[in-house]
Amino acid sequence: MFFQFPFSGGCRSDHFRPGCAQPQAPRPAPQAHALSLSVPTAPPAAAWNERTTPLVPVLHTTDPQPRPKVRWWMRRFDQLSRKVASMSSVEILFVGDSITEEWAESGEVIWRRHFSHRAINLGVGGDRTQNILWRLKNTPMECSGLRWAVVMAGTNNLGDSDSDADIFEGVAAIVYHLLDQCPSTRIILMGILPREPASFMGSIRRINEMLARLDNGTSVRYLDLGPQFISPDGSIPGALMPDSLHLSARGYQIWADALRPFLDAP
């Protein structure tokens, strides 16, 4: 099933020009896309957006788009598509970018302890909402037995010409697709985590306020870990986010602990 976007708005600046003024007036809600599931393997994650490829026109946040100029991305996509096609007894799907992908690296021990026997990780470093939607659209998935999908997306759209409302709409489109494709699966929608540069923090707060409104108490639950990743002085603790973006093992433990009340419930 699809839901109406609660609100929208924002500028659609030239995607080759950095920066975009914050929206002041609403704009029409985007079309919901009927998608499917898929994702790729990438080199180790590094700084933000280091794996993005702005050499091709970047579509709106709700328009599915692959990353054809990145060969490893298509290989990763093929690998994860095969993994999804062969999955059995999977209860949990993790969907996102490098923060999700690195459950297999910095979060490996925690992943093995809590999730490896019942979950699939479809995180791909550098992916914007457009790329995640394309992967979902191009990998059909059997949803029987899939209880939860954990979605963390949007951080790689920051710093582009996307407005706060654009980014919200892109993340919401991922949620709506999963609900449409897997009606009996519930969504845990993660807020965008704090990160550097500090100039992004205002957008993160505003986007998360919009995302929180998607929580309907049943099929979509919103979970914001942001306060746990901010020190009293407003800085990001290096022990939790060594590069002020990606998580350490301690950071993944915080995430796992926050998910358990949902995932372990009958």
User: DSSP letter string over 179-193?
Assistant: HHH-TT-EEEEEPPP
Instruction: Please give the Cα distance from 30 to 166 (Å, whole number).
Output: 9
How confident is the model at residue 216, as a pLDDT?
A: 98
Low pLDDT (below 50) residues in the chain: 1-54
pLDDT of residue 260: 95
Percent of the chain with pLDDT over 90: 67
Look up tokens 């999908």; give the residue.
149
- Helix 201-212 × helix 164-181 angle, to 10°: 40
What pLDDT does 70 receive? 87
Active site residues: 98, 243, 246
Helix (H) or strand (E) holding 96: strand 92-96
H/E segment holding residue 84: helix 71-85
Tens digit of each residue's pLDDT (9 = 90 or more) over 116-126: 999 999 999 99
Residue with structure tokens 């999700």?
A: 100
Q: Which residues contact 84 (CB under 8 A, 6 or more apart)?
A: 37, 38, 120, 122, 139, 141
Binning the chain into helix, strand and coil, the percentages to the nearest 5 are 35, 10, 55
What is the architecture, at CATH level 2, of domain 71-263? 3-Layer(aba) Sandwich (3.40)
Q: What is the number of alpha carbons within 13 Å of residue 79 lying toward its C-beta?
A: 14
CA dist 238 and 107 (Å) reads: 16
- Its pTM stands at 0.79
- What is the SS3 assignment for 220? strand
pLDDT at 21: 37
